[in-house]
Structure 1
Amino acid sequence: MSAKKEKNATFSLVSGTIAGAIEGAATYPTEYVKTRLQLQAGGKLSPGELRFNGPIDCLVKTIRTHGVLAIYTGMSALVIGNAAKAGVRFLAYDKIADALRDKDGKLTGSRNVLAGLCAGMTEAVLVVTPSETIKTKLIHDRNSPNPQYRGLIHGTTTIIKNEGFGGVYRGVFPVMMRQGANSAVRFTSYSTLKAQAQKWRGQGDAPLPSTHTFGIGALAGIITVYSTMPLDVVKTRMQGLDARNLYKNSLDCLLKVVKQDGIFSLWKGTTPRLARLIFSGGIVFTVYEKIYGILDSKAA
């Protein structure tokens, strides 16, 4: 990678937060479908709970049974969490990457992976685990025979009241592993592809057109999905309402899911997650680059 000036921390945080909020709201239905499919992987259905044969079947049955708004259950938790985690992710990545650059301002491939890994684990601990645990529990509860949560605030306070703060940090280890792997793969893929695109255009570090940025971000999303899907499935199962009674830890969860549903169940929900991360990667990197560019130009 070519030499770059150090990123402004405030601009990174603001740009990432805005990009995360927009991406989360735009792609939430795919996240809902993915979560519902994963909650069934290796688990027993509750009385009256719907059985889905795939993402389209899940979408149709959910809307037919509970209405269109049901596919937005838990969205507020994810959008708020997504905004916060994207802000933390870009801030952490930019600052760590700057610290790892050599004296010429260049970032090697291995150091790029390390920066992404550290950024992902940082966002997992600070933001992702609690927001995704709450989102998963809200979705699981909404589709149970006797829902107990009336919304984000009521659900969060009830979870904390019944389970303590540990209740919103369920599955922290697989979340850290997934987010670390996600960011390492996504940032490395994006940075590598972006550098190649800039090289082909022969314009150095000049900003790429939005269409190029979206395409590169989408491709980075595809690579990320297939390489980290098993971690995502374990994360979701560990955050379900019945996780405490079913699994001793993440490894126990992994083994039980594979034993009951087979190795390919670790890629359960790949289609909706793929749909989300293709658009997610395109949206979040494009919005981030645009917002950061605007803030940086006004400060110049």
Structure 2
Amino acid sequence: MAPFKKENPLHSVIAGSTAGAIEAFVTYPTEFVKTRSQFSGKRESPIAIIRETLRTKGITGLYSGCTALVVGNSVKAGVRFVTYDHFKNMLADSEGKVSAPRSLLAGLGAGMMEAIFAVTPSETIKTKLIDDAKRPNPQYRGLVHGSISIVRAEGIFGIYRGLFPVMMRQGANSAVRFTTYSTIKQFVQGQARPGQTLPATITFGIGAIAGLVTVYTTMPLDVIKTRMQTLEARSQYRNSFHCAYRIFTEEGILRFWTGTTPRLARLVMAGGIVFTVYENVISLLNPRQQE
């Protein structure tokens, strides 16, 4: 791989957080549908979930738990990009080059860090809020009330349920996404004139492809993560392995790819949005480096 430019950590945090917040808000309805479809019980198609939600809750129903994901996604993306740049710098050779396997390792490390510091708490709260919202009489009145209620009822570990599958999913997500993105981007740049900046449409397309590859390789971990974070998880599953075993034996192997369509829609858009916004914010913060 070609040499990479070391980013200012503060710039990486600002650009990553901005990209994460915008991506989460724009794509949230697909995340809502994906999460609902992964709950245990009757199987519902994405269209059926959207129709039922609009009928009973209105358009705002599709944004149940949105604030938790926007805040969490902003922090997650900031952590992801700054730690990825840090690990990539550590793993670069004497010429500043990072091979595909080392890029994969850097992405894995970044995913683990974001899972611990941002993703697990925000997604646990988001999942519980979505699960609660489908009840006739929801008990949570929003992000703050829901978070306080969960911690009071289950302790701080209540918002860290599913940490193991989240770490596995985020590690795999970042490893696959960053490696795919970096590999394709450097290939495309190799075909362009030296010093030429890639158009936003090309960056979006490369990010979308990275999102597509990520979905199919990490979907089972996402399903296990969702089940471990539902309101009934403590009474149904002893741990992540027990959860996976029950899904496999009681519902079949294909159940691990439930929610693929809405997650695919989200991550393809997310990959394009995140990398495009990130690259443009970095350009604004540090224009000389882009010359």
AA aligned opposite 2:258: K
User: Does 1:271 pair with 2:237?
Assistant: no
Distance in 1 between residues matched to 2:26 and 2:6, nearest whole Å: 31
- Stretches of structure 1 that go unaligned for 5 or more consecutive residues are 45-50
Output the TM-score relative to the length of structure 2: 0.97
Question: What residue number does 1:48 align with?
Answer: none
| Secondary structure at 2:223 match in 1 | helix
Picking from 121, 125, 150, the partner of 2:116 is 125
Distance in 1 between residues matched to 2:231 and 2:44, nearest whole Å: 22
| Secondary structure at 1:61 match in 2 | helix
Question: What residue number does 2:37 align with?
Answer: 37
User: Does 1:145 pair with 2:136?
Assistant: yes
User: Does 1:189 pair with 2:186?
Assistant: no
Asked if the contact 1:7/1:98 (under 8 Å) is kept, the reply is no
Question: What residue number does 1:21 align with?
Answer: 21
Quote how far apart the aligned CAs of 1:2 are.
1.2
Distance in 2 between residues matched to 1:298 and 1:110, nearest whole Å: 30
User: Does 1:96 pair with 2:87?
Assistant: yes
User: Does 1:289 pair with 2:274?
Assistant: no
User: Does 1:207 pair with 2:194?
Assistant: no
After superposition, give the CA deviation of every residue in 1:17-55 in whole Å (9 maximum; x if it has no partner). Answer: 00000000000000000000011xxx24xxxxxx55311
After superposition, give the CA deviation of every residue in 1:72-120 in whole Å (9 maximum; x if it has no partner). Answer: 0000000000000000000000111011100000001110000000000
Question: What residue number does 1:85 align with?
Answer: 76
Distance in 2 between residues matched to 1:207 and 1:155, nearest whole Å: 45
Distance in 2 between residues matched to 1:278 and 1:56, nearest whole Å: 19
Output the TM-score relative to the length of structure 1: 0.94
Quote how far apart the aligned CAs of 1:299 are.
8.4
Distance in 2 between residues matched to 1:123 and 1:55, nearest whole Å: 28
Quote how far apart the aligned CAs of 1:63 are.
0.6
| Secondary structure at 1:64 match in 2 | helix
| Secondary structure at 1:145 match in 2 | coil
Question: What residue number does 1:47 align with?
Answer: none
AA aligned opposite 1:180: G
AA aligned opposite 1:137: K
Quote how far apart the aligned CAs of 1:62 are.
1.1
AA aligned opposite 1:217: G
Asked if the contact 1:225/1:277 (under 8 Å) is kept, the reply is yes
Quote how far apart the aligned CAs of 1:4 are.
2.6
After superposition, give the CA deviation of every residue in 1:185-236 in whole Å (9 maximum; x if it has no partner). Answer: 00000000001110111335x4311000000000000000000000000000
- Cα distance change of structure 1 residues 264 and 52 upon mapping to structure 2, 3 Å threshold: closer
Quote how far apart the aligned CAs of 1:146 are.
3.0
Distance in 2 between residues matched to 1:198 and 1:295, nearest whole Å: 22
AA aligned opposite 1:74: G
Picking from 224, 235, 250, the partner of 2:214 is 224
AA aligned opposite 2:273: I
| Secondary structure at 2:93 match in 1 | coil
- Stretches of structure 2 that go unaligned for 5 or more consecutive residues are none
User: Does 1:136 pair with 2:127?
Assistant: yes
Structure 1 segments, 4+ long, off by >3 Å, are none
User: Does 1:250 pair with 2:237?
Assistant: no
Distance in 1 between residues matched to 2:182 and 2:130, nearest whole Å: 34
